[in-house]
Structure 1
Amino acid sequence: MASPQLSLLLGRLRLKHLRVLDALAGAGNLHQVAAALNMTQPAATKILQDAEAIVGARLFERRPRGMVLTDLGGFVADYARRMLRETETFSEGLDNLKAGGFGALSIGAIMATTPGLLPRAIAELKRRRPLMTIRLLAATSDILLRALERNEISLALGRFIDPRNALAFDIEPLASEELWVFVAPDHPLATRAAISLGEMATLPWVLQPATSPMRGLIDSTFASAGIGVLNNVVETTSIFATLHLVREAGMVACLPKSILVEGVAAGTFRRLPVHLPNQLGPLGIITRRGEALAVTAVDFISVLHSVAAEATGL
């Protein structure tokens, strides 16, 4: 049960306060915030002052080049962002239901789910709830976890990137994914029967950002071999860009088997004989710990279970 002080605080912080705090956290300028929210600057200043009075602390430091969040202000701004996202989701879902639809669902997924599990799951959910609005954030696991923490998505299909993730999130494993290193069929290494890591160290690679689990695995593999970190790298989270750079720019890349198996079978790409240890954590359904899921999210998880069971023959 919330304390009387907390109930009073939440009762006094209204949407106008949350909107100004969220906008100011991003812009750092009250004039820009007032213009974006269609209000006068004195009005925006008054709302900020009210919010600081309610919280009982200074939320922003006034500096010559703008306004910067205090530590406590950052905490309050994160709360404001989450509440605004929940309000937006509620409003959109309510409008959808009133119009005869089936609500709304925001999900996130890593690219390993793109060619198989996720499309089939979404297709089945749309068959069951054809008027449901589904929003999909396709990104790396680190980005998805941040979005889940900020309440921008209801659940994620991804991996933990740090053991401490278990403090804030629950994960239900669904599958493990094999990674393939690959090149275009006309690449100088395409026909080699054996390739050492040392030979590949100086080649141009296209990889996910350093914060992603897949990139961490590749970097650790080369480091463990005494080669060091790859330096000749283009970083992207885009599957399309990765495949295009491999085909057109002669780069080396690493992606999940599920994405590459058809292209390799068709001769569009060539898998290289490079062994990567299976050290990636399992792909799973990640949710915020201790939080009850909406009906739409529960339905989607049920669909994921069905699709995953069909894929593995269970």
Structure 2
Amino acid sequence: MKIEPRRLLELLAVARHGSISGAAEALGLSQPALSQSIALLEREVGVRVMERGRQGARLNGFGDALMFHAEALEALLARAAEDVRMRALGLEGTLAIGITPITAVDLVPRCIEVLMRETPGIAVSVVDGLDQEITEMLRTRKLDLLVRRLGAAAQHPDTEEEALLGVDWALITAPDHPLAGRDAVRLSDLGDMRWVLPAGGSAFRQQMEVVFAAAGLDWPVRSISTNSILAIKSMVMNAGCVSVVSSRLVEVEAAAGRLAVIRLADVGSRRPVGLVWRRDEPLSPPAARFARIIRAIARDDPAAEPPPSAP
């Protein structure tokens, strides 16, 4: 079976516009020409890929299966055009990385600083999102690599993971908080605290829900919600609140004596932080260079825990 790539992009347009006429207008084609192209695609794959009716055109299960590859093709072509544009401007290329909050504050910025020093002629884009969202962006070639907690999103057969380091969650308080002098606490004993925690819809909130569930707790009702890491730190320091974060996110404040970091004894095993990439597909030169740098930084980081096995 051989599929003409252009027909996949035309099918994608029909899916987005909900009709052959709307897609034809957007593509600058006549409606009969686009209908014929879809018919040829169906002949190529041997099945019908959409249902046509009075309400427009709707993809069936076969068409939905092709959408993943159509979106990946669209992203690949866009990345190729951007790469050529960058090289025409005298730059070396592009790198797109997906991250989650645990990697945004420390690990990834350190790696990008080294990468830019080694390769100044490179354009880097960083996308912060939910684990599932950035994983789909990787699979459809909108991103080159992910740096995130492993085991937080479903693992797909077309992706590969490598653990780099392990990070524990910790309770943070103001230095004068009654809990500040404790070596360790149990999250399950802290139900009456005034919490500041991430708001719904964020990757940070998703990760925190896993932490509370691991301790057998419902999400705290008495809590202030914000998706700003800066606001969380500030309210812990100044408003008598407590929060749960990775100790790596507050290293500077803890070293300056502005926050106390207390080990949590009942949040389950550490999840590793690592790289995720597309299986059986070579990394671009910028992505391969970034992967080499992040492995070296994680290996030589004196504050890093050895990575546990990903579940």
Bin of the TM-score, shorter chain as denominator length: 0.7 to 0.9
User: Does structure 1 residue 114 correspond to structure 2 residue 104?
Assistant: yes
Residue 254 to residue 13, structure 1, CA distance change in 2 (3 Å): same
Per the alignment, do residues 271 and 51 of structure 1 end up closer, same or farther by CA in structure 2, a change over 3 Å counting?
same
Alignment partners' CA distance in 2, 1:32 and 1:184: 58
Aligned to 2:5: 13
How far apart, CA to CA, are the structure 1 residues paired with 2:167 and 2:126?
21
Which secondary structure state, in structure 2, belongs to the residue aligned with residue 312 of structure 1?
coil
Paired residues of 2:193 and 2:241 also in contact (CA < 8 A): no
1:52-67 to structure 2, matched below 5 A, reads: 52-62=42-52, 67=57
% of aligned pairs identical?
21
- Cα pair 1:209 1:236 within 8 Å, conserved: no
Letter in 2 for 1:200: G
One-letter code of the match for 1:13?
P
Matches within 5 A, 1:46-125: 46-62=36-52, 67-125=57-115
Deviates more, 1:99-108 or 1:262-271: 262-271
State the Cα deviation string for residues 249-300 of structure 1 (Å, max 9, x = none): 8765322111112234445545456434352431111111222222221111
Unaligned runs of 5+ in 1: none
The answer to whether 1:230 aligns with 2:223 is no
Residue 208 (structure 2) pairs with residue 197 (structure 1) = no
Partner of 1:254: 244
| 2:210 is the alignment partner of 1:217 | yes
- Deviation digits for residues 117-136 of structure 1, max 9, x if unmatched? 21121111112221211111
The 1:159/1:69 distance shift into structure 2, 3 A limit, reads farther
Query: 1:32–1:272: structure 2 CA closer, same or farther, 3 Å change rule?
Result: farther
My pick for the range that moved more, 229-238 or 54-63, is: 229-238
1:135 partnered with 2:125: yes
In structure 2, distance between residues paired with 1:27 and 1:198:
53
How many Å separate the matches in 1 of 2:94 and 2:36?
35
In structure 2, C-alpha distance between the alignment counterparts of 1:248 and 1:68, rounded to whole Å: 55
Determine whether 1:206 maps to 2:179: no
Q: Which of 238, 246, 253 in structure 2 is aligned with 1:263?
A: 253
Partner in structure 2 of residue 309 of structure 1? 299
Instruction: State the TM-score, normalized to the length of structure 1.
Output: 0.76
Quick one: distance in 2 between partners of 1:46 and 1:242?
57
TM-score, scaled to structure 2: 0.76
In structure 2, relative to structure 1, the CA distance for the partners of 1:180 and 1:199 (3 Å cut) is: closer
Q: Residue type matched to 1:109 in 2?
A: I
Tell me how far apart the structure 2 counterparts of residues 50 and 202 of structure 1 sit (CA, whole Å).
Answer: 64
